[in-house]
């Protein structure tokens, strides 16, 4: 009985960390993408300046 439950406990904690780390990865990826886009476009439009 305990054996079975152990499997579920491990499953639960694995799923939890998968979700949490997975979301973290997604944020990190989107974050660097967004920063890169921002840096690039600021550089491009830097020449424009206030009119």
Residues binding another protein (CB under 8 A) = 1-2, 4-6, 8-9, 11-13, 15-16, 19-20, 23-24, 27, 30-31, 34-35, 37-38, 41-42, 44-45, 48, 50-51
| Three-class SS of 18-32 | HHHHHHHHHHHHHHH
Q: CB of residue 8 vs another protein: minimum separation in angstroms?
A: 5
* Closest distance of CB 17 from another protein, Å: 9
Secondary structure of residue 50 in the 3-state scheme? coil
Q: How many whole angstroms separate alpha carbon 46 and alpha carbon 40?
A: 10
């Amino acid at each position: 009985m305990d054996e079975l439950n152990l499997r579920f406990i491990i499953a639960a904690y694995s799923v939890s960390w998968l979700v949490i780390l997975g979301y973290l990865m997604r944020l990190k990826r989107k974050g660097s993408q967004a920063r890169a886009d921002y840096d690039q476009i600021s550089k491009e439009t830097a020449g424009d300046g206030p009119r």
